[in-house]
Amino acid sequence: MVKDKYQKLVSILQEMKSVVVAFSGGVDSTFLLKAAVDALGSERVLAVTADSETYPSSELLEAKELAKRIGVEHQVIETSELAIPGYTENDKNRCYFCKNSLFELLIPVMEEKGYENVVYGVISDDMNEHRPGMKAAKEKGVRGPLQEAQLFKQEIRELSKQFGLPTWDKPSFACLSSRIAYGETITKEKLTKVEKAEAYLKSHGIRQVRVRTHQEMARIEVEPKDMKMVLDNHEAISKELQTYGYKYVTLDLIGYQSGSMNKVLS
């Protein structure tokens, strides 16, 4: 079943002839990049990563290393989501503004360098979630081959492991803006605060973590198995996060949930 889906993915990519891959270095875009190179050859694939204030510098470094490992040309473009009209207001369509701006930058790269398509890492799991970015992709003619091949996250991890990709068990990641409660203005200072807080918790050996920000309160989400570590070190963690600007530091007893901020949306 999974092998059939992969063959379908290869066929979809081969029909595209050449692609620019919106490459973040995450599980899905890394697998998509590897599949594109296998299907088309490295000379017909370009990886492009956006360097912005909404992604940690560690993610950019990892993306560069992954592109080199896969053996594909990699271009980094400078972007600023905070300069996009409508983005910092942080309403439920925030991701639309981000993806729309990204694709507006990628399409000229595609045209200038002679590629025929822009693709990104949307997957089948995303179809049942709040993903405004998909609307932007549809409007711009940007395709999602993984979703077209009906591949789900667990299948992508399985195939990534088979192909020897180090991202096969990488924790899910989303831009830092997703940590800030809807309706609360996004600023560089808040993004930096989130980045520092999550990096500090990861330094304690926690791999999957979100520091959801509600004004002056940090709501820490970790997997249940990591809750004891947070509680055992609650004094040190609280003090450290308070130095970043949080006044209240809490642990969410439900645990890590992808897209948990979307619960407030109707």
Active site residues: 175
- Do the strands 209-214 and 217-222 form a parallel or antiparallel pair, or are they unpaired? antiparallel
Integer Cα distance of 154 and 130 in angstroms: 19
**Residue pair 92/80 in contact by the 8 Å Cβ criterion:** no
Token reading at 224: 């249940």
Work out the angle between the directed axes of helices 27-40 and 2-16 (0-180°, nearest 10).
60
**168-13-174-71 Cα dihedral, nearest 10 degrees:** 60
126 neighbors 151 (Cβ within 8 angstroms)? no
CB 36 within 8 A of CB 19: yes
The values of phi and psi at residue 4, to 5°, are -65, -40
Question: Got the DSSP string for 215-257?
Answer: TTEEEEEE-GGGHHHHHHTHHHHHHHHHHTT-SEEEE-TT---
The answer to whether residues 168 and 161 touch, using CB atoms and an 8 Å cutoff, is: yes
Q: How many Å apart are CA 199 and CA 209, to the nearest integer?
A: 9
